[in-house]
Amino acid sequence: MSGATILDGKALSSRLLAQLRERVEACQARGVTPCLAVVLVGDDPASNIYVRSKERKAAKVGIATRDHRLPATTSTQALLDLIASLNADDSVHGILVQLPLPDGVDEQRVLLAVDPRKDVDGFHPDNLGLLMLGTPRFVACTPQGCMRLIELAGVDPAGKRALVVGRSNIVGKPVAQLLLHANATVTIAHSRTRDLEAEVRRADIIVAAVGRPELIRGEWVREGACVIDVGMNRVDDGGSKPKLLGDVEYAAAAARAGSITPVPGGVGPMTIACLLANVVTAAEATCS
């Protein structure tokens, strides 16, 4: 189909997890077992699957997890009380509040309540601000995974045109900052960008994180570009189960790109591996 290098996030995440195992053992030798507290409110099926995957991989590398599953009727105040207790618990190094939260829960208040030193998702304004200054404590997990995949492709962002499609606080804005710190010339495109095709055509690096299936057409991708597809869009095509599509038209893009991530198997596995890396970093700070 193409000569594009397929950026295997599963294989790269496995290597990262093996390295984490060594770091966890070093912490344990100093009397500290890295611990992640997971807070899941409600019964969202996708969130349940994602949390189970995180906990399985944490166990493989020796990270302890504490599971706090709360009903969808949980109040904002009850959730804030739980987070306060986790903040005060020195044996907990990372706190993950699984999003989305149910309607009626003040998501912003909850995220702000997490101690920035335990904010292993990298969503707290303190951590986003440190990232902007170029002195990050924790980098949001998906953007961190994107940068590792760009490195795997053998692409140095310095001096290259990088296009980020999407401007969320979770992916778009943080990955744009990381690319900027890596000396790329960065453009952020979004729903009001007038000529997305023209922006894509001139980009050496494309990070697609807009959440619209195959928005970026393959013929727009310039020859040799590095394409990182963050999209995970479930589309009903009449089959027995929804089809999973990225934000990029994969086959046509792979025919032109120098390197590209598959969906699934690209960015997704790296997100979890980078989350666990942040937990270990938080634990190391307490035993240094």
Tell me which of 57, 118, 121, 177 is the catalytic residue.
121
Select from 125, 193, 181 the least CA-distant residue to 150. 181
DSSP for 47-93 reads HHHHHHHHHHHHHHHT-EEEEEEE-TT--HHHHHHHHHHHHH-TT--
Active site residue 121: yes
Question: Which residues have a Cβ under 8 Å from the Cβ of 238 and sit 6 or more positions away?
Answer: none
167 marked among binding-site residues: yes
CA–CA separation, 3 vs 80, rounded Å?
51
> Residue 110: what residue type?
V
Question: Which residues have a Cβ under 8 Å from the Cβ of 10 and sit 6 or more positions away?
Answer: 265, 269
Contact, 98 vs 38, CB < 8 A?
yes
Active site residue 54: yes
**Catalytic machinery residues:** 54, 98, 121
- Binding site residue list for NADP(+): 166-168
- Binding site residue list: 166-168
